[in-house]
Structure 1
Amino acid sequence: MDLNLQELPVHQRGDAVSSMVYEANARVRDPVYGCVGAISSLQQQIDTLQTQLALAQAEVVHLRVRQTASYSHHGFAPTSPTNSGSPSSNHGSQVKPIFDMDVVMDQASLGEPMWSC
């Protein structure tokens, strides 16, 4: 690509030069893929972190469900402003989990998988 900096508005010339320097350095580090290799690597990191986040959120849901089941099994439930907090007044109440499992699992599928090309 032939770029003449004189054709750009003055306020964009600094950004254009910075971009060209970055791209040139990326090409020195990775002669075959250049910036595309760096972007691909960062995308893989994002995909991995999104998967880890979704798994952690699912674990939180799992632990909250276990905790709620444990409370229910022993006749207790977390207190709410609408009841007195005693075990007998909480018996049979429905506790809504903080995370919707469908939402958590949808987050795991955000972005493209790591192995896509």
Structure 2
Amino acid sequence: MGGTSSPCASCKLLRRRCSPDCIFAPYFPSNDLCKFAMVHKVFGCSNITKILKNVPVEQRGDAVRSLVYEANARIRNPVYGCVGIISKLETQVLELQMQLAVVEEEILSIKMQQEFIFTNGGT
């Protein structure tokens, strides 16, 4: 991706020549500058490089997607990041479980009323 074609988003943002073996080129295409800018702002270039070098090539795409997600979460919520999102979702799950329990209780109550009416002949 580097070399003669347009530089990747990383090299474009950092204003450097994109080499053919640029570690960022497969994951940060030149037309998606925002994605790299966000990850760079949160993690920094050297940390992104270290992370990608320590991840097997076949898993780097997933690593980049995780970095982008975490960077986005950190920009929206600098204190909690992904943990804030997870905590919020856990709270929603608990609230929905409580609502479900109430509805199940109401359904059981209605079924019992109907069964009582049916067995007592409507009296």
- Structure whose residues are more often helix by fraction: 2
Q: Would you identify which runs of 4 or more consecutive aligned residues in structure 1 move more than 3 Å?
A: none
* Coordinate RMSD, CA, aligned: 2.1
2: CA distance between counterparts of 1:67 and 1:60? Answer: 11
1:8 counterpart = 2:50: no
How far the C-alpha of 1:26 sits from its partner, in A, is: 0.5
Q: Deviations over 1:58-111 (max 9, x none)?
A: 111100000000111117xxxxxxxxxxxxxxxxxxxxxxxxxxxxxxxxxxxx
1:55 counterpart = 2:102: yes
Q: What secondary structure sits across from 2:80 in the alignment? A: coil
> Residue 81 of structure 2 corresponds to which residue in structure 1?
34
What amino acid does structure 1 have at the position aligned with 2:78?
P
Q: What secondary structure sits across from 1:40 in the alignment? A: helix
- Number of matched pairs: 76
> Residue 43 of structure 1 corresponds to which residue in structure 2?
90
Q: What secondary structure sits across from 2:78 in the alignment? A: coil
Please list every run of 5 or more consecutive structure 1 residues that lacks an aligned counterpart in the other structure: 76-117
How far the C-alpha of 1:28 sits from its partner, in A, is: 0.5
* TM-score, normalised via structure 1 length: 0.59
**More RCO (CA 8 Å, sep 6+):** 1
Please list every run of 5 or more consecutive structure 2 residues that lacks an aligned counterpart in the other structure: 1-42
Task: Pick the aligned partner of 2:112 from 62, 65, 81.
Answer: 65
How far the C-alpha of 1:4 sits from its partner, in A, is: 2.7
> Residue 20 of structure 1 corresponds to which residue in structure 2?
67
How far the C-alpha of 1:7 sits from its partner, in A, is: 2.3
What amino acid does structure 2 have at the position aligned with 1:22?
Y
How far the C-alpha of 1:53 sits from its partner, in A, is: 1.0
How far the C-alpha of 1:31 sits from its partner, in A, is: 0.8
How far the C-alpha of 1:55 sits from its partner, in A, is: 1.0
